[in-house]
Amino acid sequence: MNAAKENLWKAFRGLVLVWIVGMAIGETLIAWGINNWPLVGSVQARITADATTYLMWQAVAIYVLVGGAIVYSAMRFRASSASDAVIPENQKRTWAPFVVTWLVLAIGINLANTIYPGMVGLEQLWAIQMDTKSPLVVDVTAQQWKWTFSYPKQGVTDVSQLVVPEGRTIDFVLRTKDVMHDFWVPAWGEKKDVIPNEVRHLFITPTALGSTATNPMLRVQCAMICGNGHPLMRAPVKVVTAAKFKTWVSNNSF
Amino acid sequence: MATNEMQAQALNETGGGKTSFAISMLFPLFRATLWGLTGYFAAAWITAALLGSVIVNPLPATVGYIVGLVGWLMGSGLWEGWIRRAFGGAEAPAYTGVERYFRFGPDSKSTAVRYVVFNVVAFFFAGLAAMAIRVELLTPDSTGWWMSTIHYNMTFGIHGLMMLLAVAASVIVGGVGYYLVPLMLGVRNVVFPKLLGLSWWLLPPAAFAVFMSPTIGGFQTGWWGYPPLAQNSGSGIVFYVLGAATLLTASVLGAINIAGTMVYMRAKGMSLGRVPIFVWGLFAASTILIVEAPATFTGALMDLSDMILGSHFYTGPTGHPLAYMDQFWFLFHPEVYVFALPAFAIWLEILPAAAKRPLFARNWAIAGLVGVSMLGAMLGVHHYFTAVSPARMPIFMTFTETVSIPTGFIYLSAIGTLWGGRLKINAAVLLVLMAMMNFLVGGLTGIFNADVPADLQLHNTYWVVAHFHYTILGAVIFTWIAALYWWFPKVTGRKINEFWGKFHAWWFFVFFNCTFFPMFIAGIEGMNRRIAIYLPYLHGINLFISISAFLLGAGFLIPLANLVYSWRRGEKAEPNPWGSKGLEWQIKSPTPYIPFPEGTEPEVVGPNDNYAAGSKEPFVWVSTPSK
Amino acid sequence: MAENGYASLMDPAPERAKRGAFFFLTLFASIVFAMWDLARFLWGGTGVPSTLNMGVGIGLTVLMLISLVPVFGAQRKLNQGDDKGILSSMGALLVVAVIMICGIVYSWTSLPISSGYGGIYDITTGWFLLHFVAAILAFLATIMKGSRTPERAKRERWVSYNVLMYWGGMVVLWVVFFGIFYLA
């Protein structure tokens, strides 16, 4: 009995070693992946990318803890052969320290995740929306299968290219003429469904200059299946400086 | 072992008819096909003639489908086997031999075998659709010689609907569950045997209609069927809606049987705490179907009504397309638990027998299964965070994240069972372990979709595609094959080939991960779902995914060959090859038509996972008290 | 006529199980109706259109409530083991179901499906109509089985119980429907 117990603790030391090695490898890979993250082109994208990368660190840690335990115990406690008839000594039906640790960690991680990055991220996104005094209003009209943009205050109507200034919060007013669509600029880190009979708003504060030509992450892309033209329902995006935006507006308004 | 003593009992007279297969036994199948097709075309043509339209229009197709379905069912033997008798007519003879596999009947075992066959066929065709998708995605542009974007949209719609409702929904619940539930509970059949028999016969016409939807115009919506796109992109949506509703009905009929059998028909001495964990998993899944399927069911019918009857629930200036999303996801999020909970339960059923340890923290595992099914009703909204008002975001984010706690109990229980045991790793156990590793990835990446800020970016990208393939293909299908291997001796009396079993397990695991892991990266890099044409910067990763997918797809021929070959030629298995203490192994293998003879019944006298040396057997056979 | 010997052995559920498990079926069906009832407020608003024929609605509801009399009568006879005695009650219920179908079809004429309230009213009553058709078949089956093969009807008494349970459930669902679609 005593020998068996010691044996299990010895096995546990091996598991800890697996955890340490696995954690080192896994988190290094994640660090490398996050280092090569695609363009984060708006304040909102920073928030959503932070949420994603935080969850990645955590997911890898949990994967190593749980997955490591599965692989390690399957290998460490395997039978010697197919005809092995030894009945293991350990016939425990439960072991409170393990169960309690598991419960505490599971509930704790869940609560923590709901607060950060969940609620914190949402509050940040909502705060930008609430604090914006005079956003640049852009009317977005989706239809099968193209996007049109209008700048009501600037007097620019029905252009097929989205040109926006850097550093200013934009209020995209989303409407659709036919079926459901979804307004998404991958670099801006958020998408919003465009729903028939409803008007939706998406607030974005672009931070990265560039255009679709320089980085394909900067493109308007329909992200909700909308028929056979769906994959090509894109529009070019250009993020320019405030001064250049002014010039563009004066060239394109009536 | 006492198990084998019980096996030695004279059970031979219950083995059913000893007839061998004859081509005339296919008559009901042939008649069902004939009546089904005749019914379809006659009704569709008459409707079209009356309305002055053509038979590919939505309304004639609907009427045709309903009449064809009735014709198919009547032809399959429903008339002689049930309806004629219910009206006081002549009784059908008892089909106890091979012929029972080819006609409607009340035998749960042959129904389950038919489920396996149906699932394999549906998996094959829906898998071909997946291969077609990957061929299209080999190049960034529209691969015109292969398929147009219209065909691409039809293909992934059929792939999704078939894989979910014709494969995942019934692989474990149907093929494995309907076979084992009565045996594990110690009864000869389920509570409503004919209803269970009917559930299988609903599947083939529904699946056939969905596969045939391109012939009447296909559907562009994917498997979601979101209005108003559904109503203006081809009449094929009619077959999508009717097929989905029929498949759901079949699931519900099975669920009623599982729940009813578990609640009312457990063997003597089988308290709820001693019900096998697999039956608990099925019960949890069944409650989901019974309680939550109505929302989606009504949604499908209203979608159809908008299409054929001119109502405006979701379309037109007064329609509410968001309401469809609410109804649709109210079942179809928990539906993934209908797939997954039985798979979890299979892990926990197999691992104790393989590790020769009792199931660790059994009560927590049951709480996990039931907990997931209960929480499941409250979180479908996370499938459309990008469409809902901000007020709903925090609520459903919290609920969705909470579901990982009961899911974790399954892992708690599995790891505790492995720890300190002596695990015999055969092909089935290997697949279970791989399924656990895959589901772990699927589950952890699910947290990203539950977390609103991360989801707003990842929603509808390849991240999501990778996530649910990890849970459904990586966990449920792996577990399905594991279950087929584990209970193969029970059904056929033979063993599968272990070498090829393990070989393809590794094949799957490697190419599965090569196929689906890169999709996470593609999603982060801005590749959205359901596109035939993508930007060139995503070409490299898609090329890699496609080639891995072809290798993965080809690998599925190995288990198919293994199962078919072992069924005919495999090594004969002893009655209880894994030394399991489960009640199903106490019955002769292959299971006789009547599992245990009249006048005897099992009585449960202890937990069914007590593997300690010298422990007593958990079941004894007692004689049934006469009334 | 010889009954097959395996049939009873391979359908082992006792009456308690057959009647108990039927609950799951009625639960599923009731939730479907609950969905329609909830949907009424989303699509039909809170008012009732003037074209709704209140007289027919009240008449059908009263008829459904009266139909509980033969249900309870038949239930009592079944409890006493009188399988023949329920046939006249079943016949009466069959007539009720036919009248209900006529009433439903009549009320469709004044409520176009393209309007908000009309749409949800028509689809809900259409679903009721399907259930009344099923009920007619069930009553017919019970009557025919009871008169042609009384022995079988006696052995499978749970079928009659479940048919009565089904109709009782329909009455409850109809009354709820009346409250929500006519009064609310």
Q: How far apart are the C-alpha atoms of B568 and B177, rounded to whole Å?
A: 23
Q: Which of B190, B192, B248, B596 to mutate to test the interface with C (most CBs of C within 10 A)?
A: B192
Q: How far apart are the C-alpha atoms of A178 and A136, rounded to whole Å?
A: 26
Which pLDDT score is estimated for B37? Answer: 97
Q: Please indicate, yes or no, whether residues B373 and B460 belong to a single structural domain of this protein.
A: yes
C55 touches chain B (CB under 8 A): no
Q: Which of A80, A125, A172, A191 to mutate to test the interface with B (most CBs of B within 10 A)?
A: A191
B310 touches chain C (CB under 8 A): yes
Which residues in chain C have Cβ-Cβ distances shorter than 8 Å to B302? 39, 123
Residue of C nearest to B302 (CA): C123
C36 touches chain B (CB under 8 A): yes
Chains A vs B: touching, with 3+ CB pairs under 8 Å?
Answer: yes
B364 touches chain A (CB under 8 A): yes
Q: Please indicate, yes or no, whether residues B35 and B138 belong to a single structural domain of this protein.
A: no
Non-local CB neighbours of B575 within 8 Å, separated by 6+ positions: B3, B4, B7, B585, B588, B589
pLDDT band of residue B627 (cuts 50, 70, 90) is low
Residue of C nearest to B96 (CA): C6
pLDDT band of residue B615 (cuts 50, 70, 90) is confident
Least confident of B460-464, B523-527, B588-592, C95-99: B588-592
Instruction: Kindly determine whether residue C39 and residue B298, on different chains, have CB atoms separated by under 8 Å.
Output: yes
Handedness of CA B154, B157, B159, B165 (dihedral sign): negative
Rounded to two decimals, what is the model's pTM? 0.95
Is position B329 within any domain?
A: yes
CB B242 within 8 A of CB B58: no
Q: Which of B231, B312, B418 to mutate to test the interface with A (most CBs of A within 10 A)?
A: B418
Instruction: Kindly determine whether residue C21 and residue B318, on different chains, have CB atoms separated by under 8 Å.
Output: no
- Using CB atoms, which residue from B358, B364, B423 is nearest to A78? B423
Instruction: Kindly determine whether residue B320 and residue C43, on different chains, have CB atoms separated by under 8 Å.
Output: yes
Which pLDDT score is estimated for A226? Answer: 94
* Helix, strand, coil share (%) of chain B residues, nearest 5: 70, 5, 30
Q: Please indicate, yes or no, whether residues B47 and B187 belong to a single structural domain of this protein.
A: no
Q: Please indicate, yes or no, whether residues B39 and B185 belong to a single structural domain of this protein.
A: no
Instruction: Kindly determine whether residue B456 and residue A86, on different chains, have CB atoms separated by under 8 Å.
Output: no
pLDDT band of residue B2 (cuts 50, 70, 90) is very low
| Assigned token pair, B19 | 């007839």
Is position B19 within any domain?
A: no
Q: Please indicate, yes or no, whether residues B141 and B29 belong to a single structural domain of this protein.
A: no
Is position B414 within any domain?
A: yes
Q: Average pLDDT, stretch B575-600?
A: 89
pLDDT band of residue B11 (cuts 50, 70, 90) is very low
pLDDT band of residue B378 (cuts 50, 70, 90) is confident
Instruction: Kindly determine whether residue C27 and residue B291, on different chains, have CB atoms separated by under 8 Å.
Output: yes
- Using CB atoms, which residue from B94, B263, B291 is nearest to C20? B263
pLDDT of B3 strictly over 50: no
Domain that holds residue B286: 105-623
pLDDT of B187 strictly over 70: yes
Nearest to B409 by CA among B374, B373, B366, B447: B366
CA distance, residue A150 to nearest chain B CA (Å): 22
B34 touches chain C (CB under 8 A): no
CB B64 within 8 A of CB B43: yes
Which pLDDT score is estimated for B18? Answer: 62
B153 touches chain C (CB under 8 A): no
CA distance, residue A223 to nearest chain B CA (Å): 6
B357 touches chain A (CB under 8 A): yes
Chain segment C99-141, per-residue pLDDT in tens: 999 999 999 998 888 888 999 999 999 999 999 999 999 999 9
Which residues in chain A have Cβ-Cβ distances shorter than 8 Å to B425? 74, 78-79
Which pLDDT score is estimated for B318? Answer: 87
Q: Please indicate, yes or no, whether residues B529 and B394 belong to a single structural domain of this protein.
A: yes
pLDDT of B15 strictly over 70: no
Spans in chain A with pLDDT lower than 70? 1-6
Q: Please indicate, yes or no, whether residues B259 and B293 belong to a single structural domain of this protein.
A: yes
Which pLDDT score is estimated for B4? Answer: 39
All structural domains of chain C with their residue ranges? 20-45+57-183
CA distance, residue C184 to nearest chain B CA (Å): 20
Non-local CB neighbours of B92 within 8 Å, separated by 6+ positions: B77, B80, B81, B84, B85, C4
Chains C vs A: touching, with 3+ CB pairs under 8 Å?
Answer: no
Nearest to C35 by CA among C116, C123, C104, C108: C123
Is position B8 within any domain?
A: no
Q: Please indicate, yes or no, whether residues B29 and B162 belong to a single structural domain of this protein.
A: no
| SS3 (DSSP) at B221 | coil
Is position B209 within any domain?
A: yes
Q: Which of B83, B84, B85 to mutate to test the interface with C (most CBs of C within 10 A)?
A: B85
Split into its structural domains, chain B has a count of 2
Which pLDDT score is estimated for B7? Answer: 42
Q: Average pLDDT, stretch B226-233?
A: 92
Handedness of CA B242, B245, B240, C111 (dihedral sign): positive
Q: How far apart are the C-alpha atoms of B18 and B24, rounded to whole Å?
A: 16
pLDDT band of residue C7 (cuts 50, 70, 90) is confident
CA distance, residue B313 to nearest chain C CA (Å): 7
CB A197 within 8 A of CB A206: no
C32 touches chain B (CB under 8 A): yes
Instruction: Kindly determine whether residue C21 and residue B260, on different chains, have CB atoms separated by under 8 Å.
Output: yes
Residue of B nearest to C18 (CA): B191
Strands A234-240 and A162-165: parallel
Which pLDDT score is estimated for B17? Answer: 58
**Chains B and C: how many Cβ contacts under 8 Å?**
141
Instruction: Kindly determine whether residue B452 and residue A86, on different chains, have CB atoms separated by under 8 Å.
Output: no
Which pLDDT score is estimated for A2? Answer: 54
Instruction: Kindly determine whether residue B294 and residue C149, on different chains, have CB atoms separated by under 8 Å.
Output: no
Instruction: Kindly determine whether residue B312 and residue C116, on different chains, have CB atoms separated by under 8 Å.
Output: yes
C130 touches chain B (CB under 8 A): no
Instruction: Kindly determine whether residue B419 and residue A73, on different chains, have CB atoms separated by under 8 Å.
Output: yes
- Counting residues of chain B whose pLDDT is more than 90, the rounded percentage is 84
- List of chains touching A (3+ CB pairs within 8 A): B
Which pLDDT score is estimated for C25? Answer: 95
Residue of B nearest to C139 (CA): B87
Question: Helix crossing, A2-35 with A68-76: angle to 10°?
Answer: 140
Non-local CB neighbours of B361 within 8 Å, separated by 6+ positions: A93, A94, A99, B409, B412, B413, B416
pLDDT of B8 strictly over 60: no
Which pLDDT score is estimated for A4? Answer: 61
Which residues in chain A have Cβ-Cβ distances shorter than 8 Å to B358? 91-93
Nearest to A16 by CA among A87, A76, A88: A76
Instruction: Kindly determine whether residue C13 and residue B294, on different chains, have CB atoms separated by under 8 Å.
Output: no
CB B303 within 8 A of CB B225: yes
Q: What average pLDDT is seen over chain C?
A: 92
What residue ranges define each of the domains in chain A, with the CATH number in brackets? 2-76+98-130 (no CATH), 136-252 (2.60.40.420)
pLDDT of B493 strictly over 70: yes
Is position B18 within any domain?
A: no
Instruction: State in Å, rounded, how far the first CA of chain A is from the last one.
Output: 90
pLDDT band of residue B1 (cuts 50, 70, 90) is very low
Which residues in chain A have Cβ-Cβ distances shorter than 8 Å to B521? 33
B291 touches chain C (CB under 8 A): yes
Chain segment B208-223, per-residue pLDDT in tens: 999 999 999 999 999 9
Which pLDDT score is estimated for B14? Answer: 54
Q: How far apart are the C-alpha atoms of B283 and B295, rounded to whole Å?
A: 20
Q: What average pLDDT is seen over chain B?
A: 93
pLDDT band of residue C4 (cuts 50, 70, 90) is low
Which pLDDT score is estimated for B5? Answer: 44
- Counting residues of chain C whose pLDDT is more than 70, the rounded percentage is 97
Q: How far apart are the C-alpha atoms of A28 and A41, rounded to whole Å?
A: 25
CB-neighbour burial class of residue B614 (10 A; exposed 0-12, middle 13-18, buried 19+): exposed
Residue of B nearest to C7 (CA): B94
Which pLDDT score is estimated for A5? Answer: 65
CATH class of C20-45+57-183: mainly alpha
Chain segment C24-68, per-residue pLDDT in tens: 999 999 999 999 999 999 998 888 888 899 999 999 999 999 999
Q: Please indicate, yes or no, whether residues B31 and B112 belong to a single structural domain of this protein.
A: no
Instruction: Kindly determine whether residue B188 and residue C9, on different chains, have CB atoms separated by under 8 Å.
Output: yes
| Assigned token pair, A217 | 């992450």
Chain segment B414-442, per-residue pLDDT in tens: 999 999 999 999 999 999 999 999 999 99
- List of chains touching C (3+ CB pairs within 8 A): B
- Using CB atoms, which residue from A49, A84, A93 is nearest to B360? A93
CA–CA–CA angle B145, B151, B154 (5° rounding) = 155
Instruction: Kindly determine whether residue B322 and residue A79, on different chains, have CB atoms separated by under 8 Å.
Output: no
Is position B98 within any domain?
A: no
Q: How far apart are the C-alpha atoms of B254 and B203, rounded to whole Å?
A: 12
Is position B427 within any domain?
A: yes
Q: Please indicate, yes or no, whether residues B565 and B454 belong to a single structural domain of this protein.
A: yes
Here the CATH number for the domain that contains residue B384 is 1.20.210.10
C84 touches chain B (CB under 8 A): no
